[in-house]
Amino acid sequence: MHPDDDRAIWEEIPAGDITLRIRRPPSAEALIDENEFAVDERLPYWAEVWPSGRVLCGVLAGMDLACKSVLELGAGIGTGAMVAAMCGARAMSTDWYPAAVEFSQWNARNLGLDMESVVVDWCNPPDEVMDRAPWDLVVGADILYEARNGTALGALIPQLVGADSQVIIADPRRPDAGPFVDAMGDAGWGYERSDIPVPGRIDETGPIVYVHRFTPPPKNINGPVIV
Ligand SMILES: C[S@@+](CC[C@H](N)C(=O)[O-])C[C@H]1O[C@@H](n2cnc3c(N)ncnc32)[C@H](O)[C@@H]1O
């Protein structure tokens, strides 16, 4: 589906003092493609803005991001990167679905934002992203929902950061997020967690989204985190 398709819907995403008005497909379910699923079991989760995505937007809206480089992983529509760009960051949204990247870029342009959107598979990231490291801030929302995601991100994230970088991941307490957080700790990353209540959230994981904040270890910054 293209953003100009009549079936696409408008949605408002509040984030601090900002409200993003974005266009997205009416539902992820309608986009399920059995051929894609057969290749690598991917599902079009990108088409919705998830509760953790909304929490991440709120967190970013409260940060001083002027002139910072911000990379959003598994961005879907890219709302986190859009908020970062609105706060003055040089932001890039990424996802492995080309359609997500197309919606992200369409929305960024519609909002008048100077923001990049790039197709990125965590297991095979392009030079466009790797050559730009270290990123000041690497963010993601609800990206730890499968064990294989933690494995891929544990290998990728250390390659994206420098000594002063920060990594923020909003997560609705997915069971597969635990081993990733533990492995980051075992590898010496600094760690803090905030618990953000999300009233009215309708998915199964309860009314709290965790915001995990990681800082690189003093030694072996770019060493892989084995999850
Ligand atoms: C649950 S959705 C969250 C979307 C958005 N961050 C939000 O919170 O609204 C997970 C996202 O991760 C992306 N994703 C999953 N595996 C990926 C991979 N290996 N490489 C890049 N993106 C991936 C999906 O396409 C999807 O957009």
Q: Residue ranges of the domains in the chain?
A: 48-215
Categorize the per-residue pLDDT at 37 as very low, low, confident or very high, splitting at 50, 70 and 90: confident
Residue closest via CA to ligand 1's atom 14 equals 74
pLDDT of residue 32: 79
Rounded CA separation 127/125 (Å)? 7
Q: Are 141 and 53 in contact (CB under 8 A)?
A: yes
Q: How far is the CA of 45 from the centre of ligand 1 (A)?
A: 6
pTM score, two decimals? Answer: 0.96
Tell me which residue of 53, 47, 75, 83 sits closest to 170, measured CA to CA: 53
Residue type, 2: H
**Is-cis flag, bond preceding 158, omega within 30?**
no
Token pair recorded at residue 26? 């009416």
Is the shortest distance between the CB of 74 and ligand 1 below 6 Å?
yes
Radius of gyration of the chain (CA): 16
Which of 13, 27, 45 is the best mutation target for the ligand 1 pocket, counting ligand atoms within 8 Å of the beta carbon and taking the most? 45
Confidence check: pLDDT of 65 > 70:
yes
Query: Whose C-alpha lies nearest to ligand 1, atom 7?
Result: 53
Residue minimizing CA distance to atom 3 of ligand 1: 142
Ligand 1 within 6 A of CB of 121: yes
**223 CA to centre of ligand 1 in angstroms:** 24
The helix (run of H) or strand (run of E) holding residue 59 is helix 51-61
Res. 204 pLDDT band, cuts 50 70 90: low
Q: Which atom of ligand 1 is nearest to the CA of 121?
A: 20
Q: Is the pLDDT of residue 201 over 70?
A: no
Residue 84 pLDDT level (bands cut at 50, 70, 90): very high
Q: How confident is the model at residue 36 (pLDDT cuts 50, 70, 90)?
A: confident
* Residue 42 confidence (pLDDT): 73
Helix (H) or strand (E) holding 73: strand 69-73
The residue whose CA is least distant from atom 25 of ligand 1 is 46
Confidence of residue 71 (pLDDT cuts 50, 70, 90): very high
Query: Would the CB of 125 count as within 6 Å of ligand 1?
Result: no
Strand duo 166-171 + 208-215: pairing: antiparallel
Q: Where are the beta strands (DSSP E) in the chain?
A: 9-15, 18-24, 69-73, 90-95, 116-119, 137-141, 166-171, 190-197, 208-215
- Judge whether 86 and 18 are in contact, CB under 8 Å: yes
Examine the pLDDT at 90 and tell me if it is beyond 70.
yes
User: Residue with the nearest Cα to atom 8 of ligand 1?
Assistant: 53
Looking at residue 65, its amino acid is L
What separation in Å is there between the alpha carbon of 190 and the centre of ligand 1? 24
| pLDDT per position as a tens digit, 139-193 | 999 999 999 999 999 999 999 999 999 999 999 999 999 999 999 999 999 999 9
- Per-residue pLDDT at 202: 60
Q: Atom 26 of ligand 1 has which residue's CA nearest to it?
A: 46
CATH architecture of 48-215: 3-Layer(aba) Sandwich (3.40)
Q: Is pLDDT above 70 for 203?
A: no
